[in-house]
């Protein structure tokens, strides 16, 4: 009777597999089947050692979609023979957590079995929901494994972060994805092996390229292609192109990828690499980034990082801001590219930016003294009686349109904020200032 029930259960399981997506069926069950993420769970790595020793810490898996977060959690539960409970933060509430806690207590009391609670998209839990987890994670009633595509240091409470280990998963390499696809084509039990469908290496590499490091997307694409060929057939690049002609852009305008791309964009302009800057510009444009946001970043970079080494950079950047607003997209990409390459190729100086920040620091932190009397406004009635403007020398009345006089308040005499570099046009400004104020700029 038991044997018959087991056979029935196994047959039912196989029937259900027939309706499950290939990506679901091909989830690895152990480390021998798990491909990629060597930095996180490769041989000898901390997390793998802890799993193999059956000493599980609570943790949060942080990484892009399709990198194995859910798979790894399920695999850990299987390897450690733990009770596995899965929640999605979008639909779950505090009552769901408390129910799992009660079940976990029974599992521990009657079966000496730990419970892993896997919370997908944990960044969507609010503060109250995250706080409910704290005592159960701390006393070991629950082993928490969270998964998020967002940076947990931005999205998860500090109190919870202090009780878990952050495990960063990265986008799979094209080589990893090709290996995953080959395994799916070969596997007769869970994959496509029974159909004897083949695909050349260049076809698998094309799928990997299109998948942007997302293993689930790659398997879904392979499954769609396999459905369009006969048994013993061959998947071609033309078939793949007909299913998905463009590489899918992994770019979330509100997520961590957004900030990483913008950061790389600005640093490439600052670093005088126009090719890299245009590359990140293209990523943002393809991902649907707000073009006004991009234009503002270019204008800020022109002022902050190019400055007086080439004042035309800000003029070009502001012209691009106006042009983008005037012509819109897709034509707006052209003035943006013009401004980005100009700013990236221009000589660099942050002297003006550093000067104003240094001056602001003084103004906010110390008594800087009063405006010298000879510089004060003398245009209103009664100003002369106060001595305002008395002794002021008008620069244009003197040779070279310059005359030495005190401009700084008494308390700030001798302060040097603006330190022009020797780059671009700023070198000429430096020479002029050395002529005007040798005691400051000869240094």
What pLDDT digit, counting tens, does each position of 312-322 carry?
999 999 999 99
**Dihedral of the alpha carbons of 372, 374, 376, 380, in degrees to the nearest 10:** 150
Question: Quick one: pLDDT band at residue 242, thresholds 50, 70, 90?
Answer: confident
Question: Quick one: pLDDT band at residue 65, thresholds 50, 70, 90?
Answer: confident
Taking only the tens place, the pLDDT of each residue in 99-113 is 999 898 888 888 888
Element (H, E) at 144: strand 143-148
**Domains in the chain, CATH or no CATH each:** 37-168 (3.40.50.300), 174-243 (1.10.8.60), 256-345 (1.20.272.10), 354-441 (1.10.3710.10)
pTM: 0.60
In the prediction, which pLDDT does 1 show? 43
Other C-beta atoms lying within 10 Å of the C-beta of residue 360: 11
More confident residue, 394 or 334: 334
In this predicted structure, the answer to whether residue 383 has a pLDDT above a threshold of 80 is no
How many helices and strands (H and E) does the chain possess? 21, 7
In this predicted structure, the answer to whether residue 215 has a pLDDT above a threshold of 60 is yes
| Residue 322 · residue 292 · CB < 8 Å | no
Q: How many CA atoms lie within 13 A of 10 on its CB side?
A: 7
Range from 114-118, 283-287, 357-361 carrying the lowest mean pLDDT: 283-287
Distance CA 441, CA 162 (A): 51
Percent of the chain with pLDDT over 90: 33
| Residue 72 · residue 109 · CB < 8 Å | no
In this predicted structure, the answer to whether residue 151 has a pLDDT above a threshold of 50 is yes
Angle of helix 333-345 versus helix 312-327 axis, rounded to 10: 170
In the prediction, which pLDDT does 337 show? 94
Question: Quick one: pLDDT band at residue 140, thresholds 50, 70, 90?
Answer: confident
In this predicted structure, the answer to whether residue 305 has a pLDDT above a threshold of 90 is yes
In this predicted structure, the answer to whether residue 290 has a pLDDT above a threshold of 60 is yes
CA end-to-end span of the chain, whole Å? 96
Cβ-based neighbours of 274, under 8 Å, separated by 6 or more: 268, 340, 341, 344, 345
């Amino acid at each position: 009777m038991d044997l018959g029930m087991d056979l029935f259960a196994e047959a039912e399981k196989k029937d259900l597999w027939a309706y499950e997506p290939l990506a679901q069926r091909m989830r690895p069950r152990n480390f021998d089947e798990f491909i990629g993420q060597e930095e996180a769970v490769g041989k000898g790595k901390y997390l793998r050692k802890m799993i193999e020793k059956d000493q599980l810490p609570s943790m949060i898996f942080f990484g892009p979609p399709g990198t194995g977060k859910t798979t790894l959690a399920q695999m850990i539960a299987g390897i450690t023979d733990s009770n596995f409970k899965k929640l999605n933060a979008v639909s779950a509430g505090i009552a769901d957590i408390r129910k799992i806690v009660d079940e976990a207590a029974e599992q521990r009391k009657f079966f000496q079995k730990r419970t892993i609670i896997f919370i997908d998209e944990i960044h969507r839990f609010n503060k109250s929901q995250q706080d409910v987890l704290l005592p159960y994670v701390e006393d070991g009633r629950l082993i928490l494994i969270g998964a998020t595509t967002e940076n947990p240091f931005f999205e998860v409470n500090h109190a919870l972060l202090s009780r878990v280990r952050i495990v960063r998963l990265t986008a799979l390499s094209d080589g990893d994805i090709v290996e995953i696809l080959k395994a799916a084509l070969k596997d007769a039990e869970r994959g496509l092996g029974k159909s004897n469908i083949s695909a050349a290496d260049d076809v698998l590499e094309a799928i990997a390229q299109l998948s942007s490091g997302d293993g689930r997307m790659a398997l879904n694409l392979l499954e769609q292609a396999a459905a369009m060929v006969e048994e013993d057939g061959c998947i071609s690049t033309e078939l793949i192109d007909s299913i998905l002609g463009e590489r899918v852009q992994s770019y979330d305008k509100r997520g961590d990828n957004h900030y990483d791309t913008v950061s790389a964009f600005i640093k490439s302009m600052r670093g005088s690499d126009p090719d890299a800057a245009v590359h990140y510009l293209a990523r943002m444009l393809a991902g649907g980034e707000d073009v006004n946001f991009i234009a503002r970043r270019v204008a800020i970079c022109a002022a902050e990082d190019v400055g007086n080494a080439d004042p035309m950079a800000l003029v070009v950047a502001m012209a691009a801001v106006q042009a983008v607003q005037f012509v819109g997209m897709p034509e707006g990409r052209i003035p943006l590219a013009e401004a980005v390459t100009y700013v990236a190729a221009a000589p660099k100086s942050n002297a003006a930016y550093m000067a104003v920040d240094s001056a602001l620091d003084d103004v906010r932190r110390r008594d800087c003294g009063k405006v010298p009397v000879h510089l004060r406004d003398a245009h209103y009635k009664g100003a002369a009686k106060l001595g305002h403007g008395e002794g002021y020398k008008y620069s244009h009345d003197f040779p070279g349109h310059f005359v030495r006089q005190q401009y700084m308040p008494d308390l700030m005499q001798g302060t040097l904020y603006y330190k022009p570099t020797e780059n671009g046009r700023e070198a000429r400004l430096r020479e002029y200032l050395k002529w005007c104020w040798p005691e400051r700029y000869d240094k």
